[in-house]
Chains A and B, each alone.
Chain A
Amino acid sequence: MTRADWEKSYARTESALGQAKIEAAPDLPRLEEVRVRFTGRKGELTELLKSLKDLSIEDRRELGPKAQGLKASFDAAVAARKTALEDQGDAVSLSDDAIDLTLPSLRAPRGRLHPLTTTLHEIARIFQLMGYSWAEGPHVEDERHNFTALNIPEDHPARDSHDTFYLRDLPLLLRTHTSTVQIRTMESQRPPLRVVCPGRVFRHEQLDATHSAVFLQVEGLVVDEGVGLADLKGHLQTFLQKLLGAATKTRFRPSYFPFTEPSTEVDVKCFFCPGTGCPSCKRTGWIEILGAGVVNPAVLKSVGYDERKWSGFAFGIGVERVAMLLHGVRDLRDFYTNDIRFLKQFDESLL
């Protein structure tokens, strides 16, 4: 090929490129056709570049860059058009492919822990932080563990407040309090000890908004050297402030339980009213939250502890009552009805 032929060929290609109107290619396939026509394996530009090799060195030096320049501008034009066409396509799909983002999520089914579980765990967790271990005992008990060892002999009027379910044909009963686990724990462990004993208890009582025949208690027991009412006050105030808030005010007033002496009922300042009285606190400004006391030495003696060396304190908390206060539940029976609409409202992640 002569230089003149090559230059003729160059001019023809250049003009064909001009007519090809790359910037006006209507879509990606058409653009691709153009690209193949010029820079495909047998494309016009490809051929033009190939035919450079037939020219003399000098001509090649002169014409080579010219041809390369033509190709570079073609490539750039194709790339630019390609991006433009893709953007156009994206714009269409960005609007046409839009899904309804407001349809409900496909959430994995999520269950719930019962509010009494979470309340009980919260109570136990706080005591665990204070070094109390978890202890359990049977629901079906004998007189000794439920009454006698707890200094409630037969014919003691204190039994009146423990309306008891007895088992048919057996000398057994359903425990009326978790204090039974105090005895069981002390029978099986040497002092010192510090335990919480959560569990179900049973009272022969008609069900109403604030009474149940089956309910949950958390019993606590500490036996150590030199323990007195002051330790009880310290531990229980710490517990109540952790459970109900640091500003919780407590009141310890004398009471009576046969297995503790001295005994106390613990009230917290009502957190539904400014102490002026409301239905939640029966218009007293205080809410009764637990019973407690210094372990009666007679109880320590009944399990074979040396009551001159060891002393302790014990307490009992009604879990339903705490859950009702924490969650604003008004009827205790709701906890045992298992209405999904009720249970759904208690998300443990919120406690």
Chain B
Amino acid sequence: MKVSYNWLKEHLALDISAAELSAHLLRLGFEVSEHRRLGPTFTGVVVGKVVSKAKHPNADKLSVCVVDDGAVKRTVVCGAPNVDAGQTVAYARPGAVLPGNFKIEGRKLRGVESEGMICSRSELGLPKDADGIWIMSEGPELGADVGSLLGPADDILEVEITANRPDALSHRGLARELAAYFREDLKPLGAGAAESAKSSFPVAVTDKDACPYYGARLIEGVSVGESPAWLKAKLETIGLRPINNVADITNYILHDVGQPLHAFDADKLAGSRIIVRRSKAGEKLTALDHKTYDLPEGLLVIADGNKPVALAGVMGGEDTAVTAATKRVLLEGAFFAPAEVRKSSQKTRLRSDSSYRFERGADPRAARTAADRATALILQLAGGTAARPAEAAAAASAARPRVRASAARINAVLGSNFEEEAVRRVLASIGDLRDEAGGFQFAAPTWRHDLSTVNDLAEEVGRFLSYDNVPYRMAPMSPRTARLTPVEVESRRVRARLAALGLFEAYNYDLLSEKTLAACRLPGDDGPRVSNPLSEDWAVLRPSLLPGLLKNAQYNLSRGADAVRFFELGKSYALRGKEVDETWRVAAVLLGPVLDSRWQAARSPRASFYDGKAILEDLLDGVGAVAWDKLSAPAAGRTPSDPLFHPANSLRALVNGTPVGTVGWLHPRVARAYDLEGEGAVVIDADLDWLAGRETTAARFREFSALPVSRRDLAVVLDRKTPYERVEAVVRGCRIEELQDVLLFDVYAGKNVPEGRISLAIRLTFGRADRTLTDAEIAKAVETITAALSRELGASLRG
């Protein structure tokens, strides 16, 4: 809210600077987000006339002028080329202070005494309009203070008023708060107007809970026109545009005391009556903003005999607005229930200064007094006579609820040690305080809707006596062991692992576009959708983390990166009936050279499927038996990220039949969509919730043999379509007790290996815990193995 400091001072005598006031407001919980100074930032500058101009004897570019300031004529040296005799100018006398604390004194310039200075606009801190000195229009008296010709100085403060303090949404409201805080009295408000015995239009209210008070006063014989300068200036200082005297007065009252009012052109109200009722289906209203609103049924409206003429508390209608031709005004001063106004404002998406105040809560007692003040102003500025107001009021509402409290309870909420006396003084300055056994009773004034509990009162005490006076306490509370959730424990392990494996952690948004879903071949039927997306990019909650990572890969490749290794931990979402399932997942993408050091080319190959498989295996270390199935195998089950994977070159890790992770190539169509064709991207997706829930046991030490082991290398040549997995299975299937390890150390096809076949080099490690094996024993074991390989896989040994 924009606050004019001068205006504020009309309600409360304040002798502090606006900057000091801002500091107090901040302590009270009203942050001043902007402070703008209006008016001159100089003193001692008067209107002068250049009587004569002569060349400076010692300088080509200077002239020696004589300036008349109405009292005396003085010699002034001036450097501006546009100075000339006869001009009216801004003359800074010796002793003047210009912006930047620049003091003007008499001094010699090139041997000629200059008594003061003829100013340019920029030297006065004013917007520049032309080069050289400021040539003023004639008119103002010589010697008149230039500063005051520019209008009074003022400070405009942008004060943030929190939603619980609608009472402070006006100059008087804020002054009232400050009066209580400084323990000063508010200045009295102007009186209401004389009224005739004539009646105003009849008023009927159908729902008195929604509109507990409605007053309407007829003012006849007004002449609508421009407002006087003081009123226009006032509205303009707080950024409002003057309209006409009647509208300006209602706006002025709103910002002065916080009560929204509305003025109708009484002659345009059909049936000369006011009905406050619910809107009916199909009713429309063209509001003051020139837009036509289809009113949903059941909104609170002000209607004449025919139709709605205002959305109650929000905005009046254009048809019935006061215009230059208006002769009779019907002035509304009412109190509407906050929820009603909020509902109307939200349903129509129409907001106004009025709705802003009503929906937060106006002062129910202020409607009448504010309307009376507005009436007096209308009579003063637009003429006319006022009738008696017609009023419709709910039965007097019950007395304000009283809060029972005590200084001790308030100090307990704050953890403070404020004196009983100080606590009482604060509360008494805000509302009505009465003694009671063991404490007191407090009743809030009608404009405060936020004071109904002890905690509410504690905040008032804390604000007025300052939060700074509440101690810092580290009380010895019972010690507690801080725990992490299983997902967080696992997340930390996974993050540390993946970062150590060379991956960068990425953060992507949880929302995707429909286009992205399609590009990733995601069906999207089970993706929860947002009903009010920011844009089409934010439509669906992500079913998979991979689209984000692919976007990151594309982004970085297009900016010159040649390797991308990203992972992300986050939630994926799926609809399940009327609910949304959230699953923690970890996903990764690898692409490009594995090592940063490229100069040993052989050591830095591009990331392959097997690098990805290594990472997934790493995450699954310690989970027990992992079965690997081709993604296309029926046993592999389905997960939401599946469509992004290459159907043939992807593997699913299963533990006890549960799919826990997938690694593979990108589906070629998805790769194409992200410009990743031919980049050999490998992607991973795993279930972090499952990882977090898996059972882990502490590692158990096992004795190992101190005896040496024996190694034998075999080169086995077989059909190239034979999966390695089968080779190892056959070797292990021989059930040779002494076989400790099987290691594949080369895969070769080409020269010396027949077409269609492949050579696998396998290292077998043999050993026993109790003795060294003989060559004969090992030879026999190798023979058993080669025989099995030959028999089951048609393998031959390579010479």
Contacts and interface: CB of A to CB of B under 8 A. Distances in A.
**A and B co-occur in one complex:** yes
B683 to A, nearest CB: 15
Contact of A214 (B360, B511, B567): B511
A261 B410 CA distance: 12
Contacts of A341: 559
- Decide if the interface of chain A is mainly helix, strand, loop or mixed: mixed
B566 interface: yes
Contacts of A205: 534
Interface in A299-335: 311, 335
A233 B530 CA distance: 39
Interface stretch (B238-246, B298-306, B451-459, B647-655): B451-459
B555 A140 contact: no
Given A132-B482, A140-B528, A140-B573, A234 B504 contact: no
B480 to A, nearest CB: 4
B580 A230 contact: no
A224 B478 CA distance: 9
A158 B342 CA distance: 11
Contacts of A56: none
A105 B600 CA distance: 10
Given A234-B473, A262-B462, A256 B597 contact: no
A130 B479 CA distance: 9
A41 interface: no
A180 interface: no
A107 B473 contact: no
Contacts of A343: 504-506
Given A254-B459, A340-B504, A261 B412 contact: no
Contacts of B455: 261-262, 294, 296-297
Contacts of B595: 106-109
B556 interface: yes
A213 B533 CA distance: 10
A226 B477 CA distance: 10
A172 interface: yes
A336 B565 CA distance: 16
A262 to B, nearest CB: 3
A258 B488 CA distance: 30
A170 B580 contact: yes
A213 B534 contact: yes
A157 B163 contact: yes
B35 to A, nearest CB: 10
Interface stretch (B21-29, B109-117, B182-190): B21-29
B472 A233 contact: yes
B754 to A, nearest CB: 37
A194 B474 CA distance: 14
B510 A139 contact: yes
Contact of B600 (A106, A192, A294, A348): A106
A128 interface: yes
Contacts of B582: 138-140
A184 B492 CA distance: 23
A297 B482 CA distance: 25
B472 A170 contact: no
Given A131-B480, A155-B339, A157-B360, A114 B507 contact: yes
A224 B573 CA distance: 36
Interface stretch (A4-12, A19-27, A46-54, A161-169): A161-169
Contact of A294 (B163, B413, B503): B413
B561 interface: yes
B441 interface: no
Contact of A200 (B163, B470, B505, B510): B510
Interface in B485-510: 485, 487-488, 492, 495, 498-510
B463 interface: yes
Given A224-B478, A340-B561, 8 more contacts: A134-B482, A140-B580, A155-B342, A158-B163, A165-B530, A228-B413, A252-B468, A262-B455
20 contacts: A105-B597, A108-B502, A110-B500, A111-B498, A111-B503, A116-B507, A127-B482, A131-B480, A165-B532, A168-B530, A194-B480, A204-B534, A230-B415, A230-B473, A234-B474, A261-B456, A261-B459, A298-B453, A311-B412, A336-B508
